[in-house]
């Protein structure tokens, strides 16, 4: 007999929660098994059109759910968990937090260590089933809970389980923020191409296809990234001249500083919430 799919309630269905919902639906997870709550009704109406159950009643949503995903802002977590404490302790769902900078222990202390709590840091491409998610769990989380997470999220995201929670912020600076870095670089390529005289529409298409093709080649060849870069870089050629310009402006050092800046900001956010 096929195991019944769990019912998932998203409390505070913001941008990242919506990305997860879209990824689940695209992977044939029934929208009827998804409940979404939030104050702003525009997104709720869009989700309702997809068949998702929408409501403003958090308590009712939790009472129906096997899994509860907290998608509210980090500064709202403590007050929300306190308000929902009674129903959470009664129902004991698998609790997933998407809140940046909020450690598992901070939520755990409100719930007396009685609930399985998962801290999940996904990234934007989870909505197209190509996400990267970093996961840390509390001691109450069982192997069965882990398997549930694996079953639901592995089809839409590569999962990285970390035992040390501080790795969440380190990895999030790469994977969580990573899509923005790539988009920023692509914006720069398009802007530079336009400066040289290439029409914007043509430049955008060229950048998108170059990025997609380069990634596909990397996946299929399974060679070192540096090897493929060298394959493009003829000694004394145009590519080498371009890469030397990057090096002149300490391109790799700038990337390291950017990652460090993201980690430092995450640490400050975490400290401000304690």
Sketch out the chain's domains with CATH numbers: 8-163 (3.40.50.720), 178-270 (1.10.3730.10)
Polymer length in residues for the chain: 274
Q: Which DSSP helix (H) or strand (E) runs through 14?
A: none
How many helices (DSSP H) and strands (DSSP E) are in the chain? 12, 8
Q: Which 8-state DSSP code applies to residue 173?
A: I
CA distance 42 to 204: 31
Q: What is the mean pLDDT of each run of 10 residues along the chain (274 residues)?
A: 80 93 96 91 86 94 97 92 96 96 93 95 96 97 96 97 93 95 98 98 98 96 94 97 96 96 88 73
Instruction: Render 50-81 in DSSP notation, one character per residue.
Output: TT-EEES-HHHHHHH-SEEEE-S-GGGHHHHH
- The residue assigned the tokens 């900078």 is 101
Considering the entire predicted model, what is its pTM?
Answer: 0.90
- Please provide the distance, in angstroms rounded to a whole number, between the alpha carbons at the two ends of the chain: 46
Q: Which residues pair with 119 in a beta bridge?
A: 97, 136
- The residue assigned the tokens 């060679």 is 223
């Amino acid at each position: 007999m096929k195991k019944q799919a769990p019912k998932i309630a998203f409390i505070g269905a913001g941008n990242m929660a919506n990305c997860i919902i879209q990824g689940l639906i695209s992977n044939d997870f029934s929208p009827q098994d998804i409940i979404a709550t939030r104050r702003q009704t525009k997104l709720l109406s869009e989700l309702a059109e997809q068949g998702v159950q929408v409501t403003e009643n958090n308590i009712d949503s939790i009472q129906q759910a096997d899994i509860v995903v907290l998608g509210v802002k980090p500064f709202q977590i403590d007050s929300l968990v306190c308000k929902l404490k009674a129903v959470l302790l009664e129902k004991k769902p698998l609790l997933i937090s998407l809140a940046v900078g909020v450690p598992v222990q901070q939520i755990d202390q409100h719930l007396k260590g009685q609930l399985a709590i998962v801290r999940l840091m996904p990234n934007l491409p989870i909505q197209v089933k190509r996400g990267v998610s970093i996961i840390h769990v509390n001691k109450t989380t069982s192997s069965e809970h882990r398997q549930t997470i694996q079953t639901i999220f592995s089809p839409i995201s590569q999962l990285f389980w970390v035992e040390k929670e501080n790795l969440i912020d380190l990895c999030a600076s790469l994977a969580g923020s990573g899509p923005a870095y790539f988009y920023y670089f692509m914006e720069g390529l398009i802007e530079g191409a336009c400066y040289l005289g290439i029409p914007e529409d043509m430049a955008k298409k060229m950048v998108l296809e170059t990025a997609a093709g380069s990634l596909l080649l990397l996946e299929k060849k399974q060679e070192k990234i540096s090897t493929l870069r060298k394959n493009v870089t003829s000694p004394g050629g145009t590519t080498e001249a371009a890469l030397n310009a990057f090096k002149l402006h300490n391109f790799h050092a700038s990337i390291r500083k950017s990652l460090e800046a993201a980690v430092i900001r995450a640490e400050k956010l975490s400290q401000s919430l304690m």
